[in-house]
Structure 1
Amino acid sequence: MLSVGALRAHLVATRLAGRVATSREGSLRNYRLFAARDPRQTLGLDPVGAWGTCELLRLMADRCGVSPDPAETSGEDTIDPDCTVAALDAFAERLGRAAHDRIPVLLGTGHPHRLLGFYASLAAALSAAGCAVLTPAYAPCVDMPTQFGVRKYKLHYIGGVAVARPAASGGPDPGAGSQAEQGVHTHSPLPVRAALAGAAEHGGMLPGLVVGDHGFICGAGQLGIEAIGLGDPGDPAVFVAEAEGRVSVAVPLDDTVRSDYYRPLTRYVLNRAWLSQ
């Protein structure tokens, strides 16, 4: 089993925490956009608090370990690895309870090229423990705004994990290990809304827990469904949702490093949750 010390060292060595690739300029820009309630940064969350840029910076310093100094406006951003380890422990504890209670779970990611393997491993372990891993509303079209205008996407499931794929994509599920058509990077809450609406409309089972990132957890939390997941220092909505009780656990880490760097986190979480295969 990976020790806490070894996990912490791995986080820093791979820049999952410590000095990360997220730029300070980008994070501060996103805080300003969130404060202005730009939907590209609210991720489906309708925050209760005022959350100006100063309040957001204090929150992100507390939850992630970014510098609280507003005068620090350039360079690489930081994540306190101790914050990451503590949040991973809470994340694993919640997964363990979900498995023990065999509650239905929905998993989804807006970072399929980086995080699909992480979530697919969780989906397999939860299914083996007797949880229903839900795949509602397979392949409905979703109109999502992009920098190129509104584009049509379809909700697909790869290894039990919901992703958005271009509507032109076709063919069978390529599988969690495939590099083809793994889905697109998105912050939108529309895919999780489509999944939940599809389940409700057809009398299907609704999740007791949503696991993911970006709009998947913020969108689910906004609808009153318990959610846990991952967040980057440039994703203030995830941590505001946690602070306001819409997301139960938000794990601060860089969500754009190599996909294999997340494997030790997978092992650590599954061991802590008593879900190791």
Structure 2
Amino acid sequence: MNSQQLADYLDSVRITGHVATPREVNVRHIHRFIDGAEDLGFGVKWRRTWTYDDVFELMHHRAGTSSDHEHLEGQDTISAQLCVAALDRFADRIAAAVSARQSILFATGHPAGLFPVHTALAGATAAAGCRIVEVPDGIPFDAGDIRQIGKVLMWHQHGSLMHTHSPAPMQLTLQQLEVDDVPAPDLVVADHGWAGQAAEQGIDSIGFADCNDPGLFVSEAQGQLQVAVPLDDNVSPGLYEPMIVYVLERAGLN
């Protein structure tokens, strides 16, 4: 599958194009991000002053949301071309990690959507000689714990894997690695607060971000997160399969 075929596919299943997240949510999240909402900060500290208009324009140019300031509700979009271009950079960073046999930590705050993406990448990079950072005993967190399943770290609570924006799981994980005298990962592959916090702590990080997640695009713009891939981060998991194959092929892992 070439880049145009992938872009067409992503639009067809609404990973990009006319995505499920409505315009009013995107607009509201920009306002809340500017107001300092913790659940949208993802652990990212500002390196400059960001205004609503700044973030609005950033989301248009990096995710492909509508450029119309008067469009406040209804359908919004993610650009397939921007997504595929980011996936190319994402895959190239994976390839560099494999070439250098780097250690990689995989984590997701979207276990019902992106978990299989991270699992596939973790398995392929491990098979190619990378060391996958492990936390075998888990870490207590917020009436639950951080668990590693299929080489991917996630937050578990009351028998369920939890959706989370919080940077705290990544903070705790990095602290536990230090206690265990395990070196910090050379690369983090993640999303939400897992990715934002790792980048904030100066670790090479790449990840996925929806059009209502301005924090990670701000992190990328500030030179922290290396790649923010714009896409709907919670479609039916099987729909990501062609994207996984594309990334693995681009990275020389398939």
Quick one: which amino acid aligns to residue 112 of structure 1? P
Q: Distance in 2 between matches of 1:184 and 1:76?
A: 27
Q: Distance in 1 between matches of 2:73 and 2:37?
A: 22
Residue aligning to 1:18:
17
2:153 to 139, 162, 170: 162
Aligned length: 254
Residue aligning to 1:265:
243
Residue aligning to 1:110:
109
Residue aligning to 1:256:
234
Quick one: which amino acid aligns to residue 149 of structure 2? I
Among the aligned pairs, what percent are the same residue? Answer: 37
2:189 to 181, 193, 211: 211
User: What's the TM-score, normalizing by structure 1?
Assistant: 0.90
Mark the runs of 5 or more structure 2 residues left unpaired by the alignment. none
User: What's the TM-score, normalizing by structure 2?
Assistant: 0.98
Q: Distance in 1 between matches of 2:55 and 2:136?
A: 35
CA contact (8 A) 1:137 1:199 kept: no
Q: Displacement, 1:153?
A: 2.5
Q: Displacement, 1:137?
A: 6.7
Residue aligning to 2:93:
94
4+ aligned runs moved over 3 Å, structure 1: none
Instruction: Please state whether the residue corresponding to 1:76 is helix, strand or coil.
Output: coil
Instruction: Please state whether the residue corresponding to 2:208 is helix, strand or coil.
Output: strand
Equivalent residue runs for 1:1-277 within 5 Å:
2-136=1-135, 138-143=137-142, 152-166=143-157, 168-169=158-159, 181=160, 183-276=161-254
Q: Distance in 2 between matches of 1:96 and 1:63?
A: 23
Mark the runs of 5 or more structure 1 residues left unpaired by the alignment. 144-151, 170-180
Quick one: which amino acid aligns to residue 10 of structure 1? Y
C-alpha RMSD of the superposition: 1.0
Q: Distance in 2 between matches of 1:95 and 1:153?
A: 31
Q: Distance in 2 between matches of 1:55 and 1:137?
A: 42
Q: Distance in 2 between matches of 1:240 and 1:42?
A: 9
Instruction: Please state whether the residue corresponding to 2:19 is helix, strand or coil.
Output: strand
